[in-house]
C-alpha cells in the first residue's frame, strides 16, 4: 500500500512538475539547456554559453556567428574574455568569449511573452564575466532566483574588457569601445532571438552595476540603440562618472606600447607593432599598479582603460547625448558607501585606529580635483567640513572621507544623469534610490554602511539560494528588490506588476526629486527628497564653474 502511494505520488509529482523548453531554435542553430526545479510547480530553464557573435578580431567590432549544425549543448559557462586575474599576476580567459546565458522561468505551462532583463557585469572595464564570483556554488549573477521570483527572463552577457576591450588612439585608426560594441551585439541578439525562449522582444530592460552600470548608461546614450530596448537600470555608475571615460586615450596607448616593447616615434609603426603583439602581453600591460599611487594620487586615476568619445557609437560627451535616452524608462541609484573601498586606499587611516587629519582630507580633495589646479580645495573643504562643529568626532571625519569619494565617483554623477533623463523625457519614467543596508563585510568601523557591490547579493536572491549564511531580514530585502526591479522591467513602474512592494516609489521628475531608501525596513518613511542636494549643488554649480587647468601628460 505504502509502495503504491509512493509510486502514485511520484507519477503525480512528475506530471505536476513544470514545463520545459527542450531544444530551442536560434538564428545560429539549435541549443539545448537544462531545467532546474525551483518549487513544486516551477522550474527555470538555464542555457549557458550561447554564442551571440563570432570570435572577434583584435580591436575589431564583433561579427555575426557563422552558426552550427546539430544541437549545441548549452549547459556550461564559456570562457570569460581575456583579462588579468584579481591579483593581476597573470591572465585568465580567452579571446573566444562572446557568449551569453539565459534563465527562463517556467510554471505548469510553457512561458510566453515574458519581460526580459539583460545584465551587464561590473569590474572597472578591466575584469569580470557573466558568470563571475562563484563563492558558494552558483555565480553571483546566476539568474535563477530573480527569474523564478520575478517571472522574467534573465540574460547575462560577456563583453571584452581591459586592453582588448578598450584600447583606443582617439581616432579612426583604433576607435576603441570594443566592449560597448559587444554589449550592443548581445542586446541585438536577444532582441532577434528571445521570442523562441518565451520572451517579449519589445519588453527588454538592460541593467548593470559599476562599470556595467556605466555601460548601461552608454547604451542608453548611443544613437545605435534607438528602439532596441525599452528600459534601463544603473546601479552605482553612469557614463558621467569621472572613472567611466578616457579623455586622452592616445597617451594611454603609448604607455601600453612602451610596456610591450612597441613604442616607436612613428605612430603608424607603433600601431602595426601593437596589432602584431601577443594578446596576453597586451592584457598584462593594462593592469593597474596600486603601489604607484600610494601617497601620490587617487585610485580613480588608475582606471584608465575605459570608453571614449569615438564620434560613432558615442558621438559626443555623454552629458550632451541625453536626447537619445529620452524614450527609455530609467531607474538609477547608488549605495551609501560606494566610495568607501576607494577611500580606504586613498586615505588608509579611515579604517584604522589612527585619527584622520584635516590635511589628509584636503589631500584627498586635491587629488580628486586636479583638473582645477588647487583652486577647488578650499571651497570643497568648507562644504564638507561645515557640519563638523568645532571639535569633530574622529569618526565623523572618517565618514566624511568616504562621503567625498562616494559623492565624487558615484552619487553626484548619478543625480546629474537622473536630472538630465527626467528633464529630457516625454512620457518615459525616472526613478531614484539610495541603498543603505548595513554592510555584511566583517571588520569595518561602525559608521560603514553599504559598500560598493553589496546590493547585488540581494538583487540576485542569494539570501534565498543560500539561506544558511543570511538572516530573515536579508530575505525581506532581497524580496523587495526583486519585486521593484522586475515590476519595473514588466511595466516601467516599479510599483506595478506581478509582485507586491512594501511602499509606493514615486517618480523622479523635472520638478520633484524623490528617492527611495532601500534596506530591510521599507515603509512610507523610506521616501525622501533631494538626495544630498547641498553636495550635488556644490559639485554641479560651484565646482564646475571653476576653470580647468591644462592637463600635462
Ligand atoms: C510588456 O509586458 C507586459 C507584461 O507581460 C505587457 O503588459 C506589456 O504590454 C508588454 N509591453 C509590450 C510593449 O509588449
Ligand atoms: C536634454 O539633454 C541634452 C543633452 O542631450 C542636454 O544638453 C539638455 O540640457 C537636456 N534638456 C533638459 C531640458 O535638461
Ligand atoms: C598610526 O599611529 C601610530 C602611533 O601614533 C604611528 O606609529 C603610525 O605610523 C600611524 N599610522 C599611519 C598609517 O598613520
Ligand atoms: C533639470 O531641470 C530642472 C528644472 O528646470 C533644473 O532645475 C535642473 O537644473 C535641470 N537639471 C539639469 C542637469 O539640467
Q: In 3D, which of 166, 168, 404 has the Cα closest to residue 299?
A: 404
Alpha-carbon distances of 519 from 209, 400, 440, 456, 466, rounded to whole Å? 18, 22, 13, 13, 19
Residue 357 CB less than 6 A away from ligand 3: no
Residues 16-23, mean pLDDT to the nearest whole number? 85
Binned at pLDDT 50, 70 and 90, residue 7 comes out as: low
Protein residue closest via CA to atom 4 of ligand 2: 320
- For the ranges 14-18, 224-228, 335-339, 400-404, the lowest mean pLDDT is seen at 14-18
Rg, Å, the chain Cα set? 24
State which of 217, 220, 420, 421 you would mutate to test the pocket of ligand 2, scoring each by most atoms of that ligand within 8 A of its C-beta. Answer: 420
Beta pairing partners, 117: 154, 205
Q: Is the dihedral of CA 443, 447, 450, 452 positive or negative?
A: negative
> Which residues share a beta bridge with 101?
156
Q: Which long-range contacts (CB under 8 A, 24 or more apart) does 509-514 make?
A: 509/422, 509/430, 510/419, 510/422, 510/423, 513/415, 513/418, 513/419, 513/432, 514/432
Residue 137 has a pLDDT of 76
Q: What is the pLDDT of residues 23-42, one digit of tens each?
A: 999 999 999 999 999 998 99
| Any atom of ligand 4 within 6 Å of the Cβ of 510 | yes
CA-closest candidate to residue 553, choices 195, 270, 250: 250
Residues facing residue 528 across a β-bridge: 515
Q: What is the pLDDT of residue 86?
A: 86
| Catalytic residue (one of 132, 310, 329, 338) | 338
| Ligand 1 nearest-atom number relative to CA 115 | 2
The residue-averaged pLDDT of 350-379 equals 92
- Quick one: average pLDDT of 320-334? 98
- Is 146 or 137 the better-scoring residue by pLDDT? 146
Nearest CA to ligand 1 atom 11: 203
Q: Tell me, what's the pLDDT at 5?
A: 61
- The atom number, within ligand 3, closest to the CA of 348 reads 13
Supply the DSSP string of 509-550, one letter for each residue. -SS--EEEEESS---GGGEEESTTHHHHHIIIIIIHHSPPPP
Residue 16 has pLDDT above 90, yes or no: no
Residue 446 is predicted with a pLDDT of 83
State how far the Cα of 361 lies from the Cα of 414, in Å rounded to an integer.
23
For residue 236, the CA-to-ligand 4 centroid distance in Å is 21
Query: Where residue 376 falls among pLDDT bands split at 50, 70, 90?
Result: very high
Element containing residue 208 per DSSP (H, E): strand 199-209
| pLDDT (0 to 100) of residue 54 | 98
Q: Which of 43, 188, 210, 526 is catalytic?
A: 210
Q: Relative to the alpha carbon of 152, which ligand is closest?
A: 1
Q: Is 210 annotated in the active site?
A: yes
Integer CA distances (angstroms), 104 to 17, 79, 144, 183, 340, in order: 15, 22, 8, 20, 36
As a whole number of Å, the end-to-end CA separation of the chain is: 84
Q: Is 171 a catalytic residue?
A: no
* CB of residue 202 inside a 6 A radius of ligand 1: yes
Question: Would residue 312 show up in a list of annotated catalytic residues for this protein?
Answer: no
DSSP states along 269-332: HHHHHHHHS-HHHHHHHT---HHHHTTTS-GGGG--S-----SSSS-S-GGG-GGGGTTSEEEE
Chain centroid offset of residue 17 CA: 35
511 CA: nearest ligand 4 atom:
4
**Segments making up each domain of the chain, as ranges:** 30-545
Q: Checking DSSP bridges between strand 329-335 and strand 199-209, what pairing results, if any?
A: unpaired
Q: Give me the pLDDT at residue 553, please.
A: 41
User: What mean pLDDT comes out for the span 541-551?
Assistant: 85
Q: pLDDT tens-digit profile of 85-134? A: 988 889 999 999 999 999 999 999 999 999 999 999 999 999 999 999 88
pLDDT of residue 88: 87
Tens of pLDDT, residues 299-323: 777 788 999 999 999 999 999 999 9
The model's confidence at residue 296, banded by pLDDT at 50, 70 and 90, is low
Q: Does ligand 4 come within 6 angstroms of the Cβ of 380? A: no
Lowest mean pLDDT among 433-447, 453-467, 511-525: 433-447
Instruction: Give the distance (Å) from ligand 1 centre to CA of residue 490.
Output: 6
Please tell me the distance from the alpha carbon of residue 493 to that of residue 244, in angstroms, as a whole number.
28
What fold, for 30-545?
Answer: Rossmann fold (3.40.50)
Kindly report the CA angle at 234 between 339 and 293, in degrees rounded to 5? 30
Q: What pLDDT does 390 receive? A: 87
Catalytic residue among 452, 478, 520, 526: 452
What's the grid cell of residue 432?
Answer: 531614484
Amino acid at each position: 500500500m505504502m509502495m503504491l502511494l509512493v509510486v502514485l505520488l511520484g507519477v503525480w509529482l512528475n506530471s505536476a512538475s513544470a514545463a520545459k523548453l527542450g531544444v530551442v531554435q536560434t538564428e545560429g542553430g539549435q541549443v539545448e539547456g537544462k531545467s532546474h526545479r525551483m518549487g513544486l510547480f516551477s522550474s527555470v530553464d538555464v542555457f549557458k554559453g550561447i554564442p551571440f557573435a563570432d570570435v572577434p578580431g583584435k580591436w575589431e567590432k564583433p561579427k555575426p556567428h557563422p552558426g552550427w549544425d546539430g544541437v549545441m549543448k548549452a549547459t556550461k559557462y564559456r570562457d570569460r574574455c581575456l583579462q588579468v586575474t584579481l591579483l593581476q599576476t597573470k591572465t585568465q580567459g580567452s579571446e573566444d568569449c562572446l557568449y551569453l546565458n539565459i534563465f527562463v522561468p517556467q510554471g505548469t505551462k510553457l512561458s510566453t511573452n515574458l519581460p526580459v532583463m539583460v545584465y551587464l557585469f561590473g569590474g572597472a572595464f578591466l575584469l569580470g564575466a557573466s558568470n563571475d564570483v562563484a563563492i558558494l556554488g552558483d555565480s553571483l549573477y546566476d539568474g535563477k532566483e530573480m527569474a523564478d521570483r520575478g517571472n522574467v527572463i534573465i540574460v547575462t552577457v560577456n563583453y571584452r574588457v581591459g586592453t582588448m576591450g578598450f584600447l583606443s588612439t582617439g581616432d579612426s585608426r583604433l576607435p576603441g569601445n570594443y566592449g560597448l560594441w559587444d554589449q550592443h551585439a548581445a542586446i541585438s541578439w536577444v532582441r532577434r532571438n528571445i521570442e523562441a525562449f518565451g520572451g517579449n522582444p519589445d519588453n527588454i530592460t538592460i541593467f548593470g552595476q559599476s562599470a556595467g552600470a556605466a555601460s548601461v548608461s552608454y547604451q542608453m546614450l548611443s544613437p545605435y540603440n534607438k528602439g532596441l530596448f525599452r528600459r534601463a537600470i544603473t546601479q552605482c555608475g553612469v557614463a558621467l562618472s569621472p572613472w567611466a571615460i578616457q579623455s586622452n586615450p592616445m597617451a594611454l596607448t603609448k604607455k601600453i606600447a612602451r610596456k610591450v616593447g612597441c613604442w616607436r616615434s612613428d605612430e603608424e609603426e607603433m600601431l602595426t607593432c601593437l596589432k602584431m603583439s601577443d594578446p596576453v602581453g597586451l592584457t598584462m600591460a593594462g593592469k593597474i599598479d596600486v603601489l604607484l599611487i600610494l601617497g601620490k594620487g587617487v585610485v580613480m586615476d588608475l582606471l584608465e582603460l575605459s570608453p571614449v568619445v569615438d564620434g560613432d557609437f558615442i558621438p559626443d560627451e555623454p552629458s550632451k547625448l541625453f536626447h537619445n535616452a529620452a524614450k527609455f524608462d530609467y531607474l538609477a541609484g547608488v549605495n551609501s558607501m560606494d566610495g568607501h573601498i576607494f577611500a580606504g586606499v586613498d586615505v588608509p587611516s579611515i579604517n584604522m585606529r589612527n585619527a584622520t587629519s584635516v590635511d589628509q582630507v584636503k589631500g584627498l580633495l586635491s587629488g580628486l580635483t586636479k583638473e582645477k589646479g588647487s583652486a577647488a580645495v578650499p571651497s570643497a573643504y568648507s562644504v564638507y567640513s561645515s557640519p563638523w562643529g568645532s571639535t569633530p568626532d574622529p569618526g565623523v571625519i572618517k565618514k566624511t572621507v568616504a562621503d567625498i569619494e562616494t559623492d565624487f565617483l558615484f552619487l553626484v554623477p548619478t543625480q546629474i544623469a537622473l536630472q538630465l533623463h527626467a528633464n529630457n523625457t516625454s512620457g518615459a519614467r525616472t526613478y531614484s534610490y539610495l541603498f543603505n543596508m548595513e554592510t555584511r563585510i566583517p571588520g569595518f568601523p561602525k559608521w560603514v554602511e553599504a559598500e560598493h557591490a553589496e546590493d547585488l547579493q540581494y538583487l540576485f536572491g542569494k539570501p534565498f539560494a543560500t539561506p544558511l549564511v543570511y538572516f530573515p531580514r536579508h530575505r525581506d530585502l532581497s524580496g523587495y528588490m526583486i519585486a521593484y526591479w522586475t515590476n519595473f522591467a514588466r511595466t516601467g513602474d516599479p510599483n506595478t506588476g506581478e509582485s507586491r512592494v512594501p511602499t509606493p516609489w514615486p517618480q523622479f521628475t523635472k520638478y520633484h526629486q524623490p528617492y527611495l531608501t532601500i534596506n530591510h525596513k521599507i515603509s512610507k518613511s523610506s521616501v525622501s527628497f533631494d538626495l544630498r542636494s547641498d553636495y550635488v549643488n556644490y559639485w554641479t554649480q560651484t565646482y564646475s564653474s571653476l576653470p580647468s587647468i591644462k592637463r600635462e601628460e
